[in-house]
Structure 1
Amino acid sequence: MANKKLIIIGAGSVGKFIAYNNYNFIESYEIIGFLDDDITKHNAIISGIPVLGSVDKLIEFTNSGIAVVFGIAFPKVKKTLYDKYKNLDFEFPSLISKNAWISNEVTIGKGAILYPGISINYETFIGDFVVMNMNCAIGHNCAIGSFSSFSPGVNLGGNTKLGEAVEMGIGSCTLQGISIADSSKIGGQAMVTKDIKVTSTVTGIPAKSSTS
């Protein structure tokens, strides 16, 4: 049976990861093209895949049975695009690497992208459109809000709760039981030892707020 067709929104680093590693996901697709608002990429071939035009062209594929994935790491951009196009008739599949370890009793929302080397322990919830880069370790009973993005090597202690659209920098981590507010940014290598109750950017060990 032929693979389902897929359009990738975004021809940057995440989109290229999807294109190059399509057949290393648990479910693979026939990728028909990228859509990207960078006009310098239009009509180019990137990672062996044509760039068909701007994201607005997505409307032309409505009711076509083609699936769509947001190959974008930036939470606000993902959310803005989803809010704009969510009423169109598209499936947003999650792309999960065959090399990710996912425990029983883990829930994964739509549109998530999970890279190789990830470990996700039991009773954890992964929201919609979460991007989780290589070698992240997620403890038991965590909850990760929709549109959040993880750089490589993030480690969350058990019972960590992340709000919507949180950005976790490379190698950042939390103690057990930490809560982080919506749209917060955690700097690379930061260690979060206390709850972040309002939207903040934090850096350092222990992590301290620099903006709110």
Structure 2
Amino acid sequence: MENNKSIIIIGAGDHSKILLDILLMQNVNVIGLTDKFLPLGIRIYNIPIIGTDDCILRYSAEEILLVNGIGSIGNMSLRRKIYKRFSALGYKFMSVIHPSAVISSRSVLNEGVQVLAGTIINAEAFIGENTIINTKTSVDHGCVIGRNVHIAPGCTLSGCVKIGDNVHIGTGSSIIQGIKIGDDALIGAGSVVVNDIQSNSKAYGVPAKIKSIINTNGGRDSLAYYISRRLEYGWRRRCA
């Protein structure tokens, strides 16, 4: 860890708890988590909530490193916004690597990358900044994964797959060798991708087919609208 700096985790939800668990396992000095909903002083794994994200500004960029604890359920916009805000202020983000991950020394992992338990990253893979490679995912040789990407648990990327920025690959998806997926695409869980997927597309199925175009302006076809409707549906099912 750079100069043995102390760590602040942004967010206190489920993804941040996974990251905190990894850091504590590695005896990293985590001084607190931020959250706008939980009361000041509440502890998670004995680490305190120290305030909202703005409390980070009490520390200089030379004192601390940040960990982006904001996860993704298909929409990377909040995670991307957090990373962009604090990077512009001069703060650096620590990469978090689970000790069980197998990562080639000939791969490249950029700032703020998170690699979770059981993941394999092979030679000459390139992982862009602020990207999550989630549990038991396999990234084969020569893959290029962009910035602000979430590869959800249990995915398989064959050799030389190219994934653009701000992409979500759903749980258990498989992508065959040489496929290209454009920026801001969403691949549904359990998909098998055998053809290139254009930017701003929502695709799923076996084989995966483009079902709609994501409207980044927030209309009824937008990713935000899609996620909100799915969450509303899930809430209604739980309350039924």
TM, length-normalised to structure 2 = 0.81
By relative contact order (CA 8 Å, sep 6+), the higher-ranking structure is 1
Q: 2:58 aligns with which of 57, 60, 70?
A: 60
2:35 is the counterpart of 1:33: no
Shift of the alpha carbon at 1:89?
3.1
Q: Residues 90-124 of structure 1: CA distance to partner in whole angstroms, max 9, x if unpaired?
A: 22121111111112310000001111111111111
Q: Distance in 1 between matches of 2:205 and 2:157?
A: 16
Shift of the alpha carbon at 1:3?
4.5
Q: Distance in 2 between matches of 1:170 and 1:48?
A: 31
Q: Which moved more, 1:46-55 or 1:108-117?
A: 46-55
1:117-136 matches, cutoff 5 A: 117-136=118-137
Q: Residues 38-60 of structure 1: CA distance to partner in whole angstroms, max 9, x if unpaired?
A: x2454321232111111122211
Q: Structure 2 vs 1, CA of residues 143 and 35 (structure 1 numbering), >3 Å: closer, same or farther?
A: same
Q: Structure 2 vs 1, CA of residues 41 and 176 (structure 1 numbering), >3 Å: closer, same or farther?
A: farther
1:7-22 matches, cutoff 5 A: 7-22=8-23
Output the amino acid matched with 1:15.
S
Q: Distance in 1 between matches of 2:45 and 2:197?
A: 39
1:174-189 matches, cutoff 5 A: 174-189=175-190
Aligned-residue CA RMSD (Å): 1.6
- Work out whether residues 147 and 165 of structure 1, in 8 Å CA contact, stay in contact via their aligned partners in 2: yes
1:49 is matched with which residue? 47
Output the amino acid matched with 2:105.
N
SS in 2 for 1:21: helix
SS in 2 for 1:51: strand
Q: Percent identity?
A: 32
1:146 is matched with which residue? 147
Q: Distance in 1 between matches of 2:15 and 2:102?
A: 20
Q: Distance in 1 between matches of 2:142 and 2:207?
A: 23
Q: Distance in 2 between matches of 1:94 and 1:77?
A: 18
Q: Work out which of the two has the higher radius of gyration on C-alpha atoms and give 1 or 2.
A: 2
- Work out whether residues 8 and 66 of structure 2, in 8 Å CA contact, stay in contact via their aligned partners in 1: yes
1:168 is matched with which residue? 169
Q: Distance in 1 between matches of 2:78 and 2:124?
A: 29
Output the amino acid matched with 2:34.
L
Q: Distance in 1 between matches of 2:203 and 2:50?
A: 39
Output the amino acid matched with 2:16.
G
Q: Distance in 2 between matches of 1:167 and 1:42?
A: 32
SS in 1 for 2:88: coil
Q: Distance in 2 between matches of 1:145 and 1:41?
A: 35
Which runs of 5 or more structure 1 residues have no equivalent in the other structure? none
Q: Structure 2 vs 1, CA of residues 156 and 63 (structure 1 numbering), >3 Å: closer, same or farther?
A: closer
Output the amino acid matched with 2:138.
A
Q: Which moved more, 1:186-195 or 1:51-60?
A: 51-60
SS in 2 for 1:33: strand
1:6 is matched with which residue? 7
- Work out whether residues 155 and 171 of structure 1, in 8 Å CA contact, stay in contact via their aligned partners in 2: yes
Count of equivalent residues = 208
1:60-99 matches, cutoff 5 A: 60-74=58-72, 75-99=76-100
Output the amino acid matched with 2:30.
I
Which runs of 5 or more structure 2 residues have no equivalent in the other structure? 214-240
- Work out whether residues 62 and 88 of structure 1, in 8 Å CA contact, stay in contact via their aligned partners in 2: no
2:233 is matched with which residue? none
Q: Structure 2 vs 1, CA of residues 104 and 64 (structure 1 numbering), >3 Å: closer, same or farther?
A: closer
Q: Residues 56-98 of structure 1: CA distance to partner in whole angstroms, max 9, x if unpaired?
A: 2221112451110101223211211122221223221211111
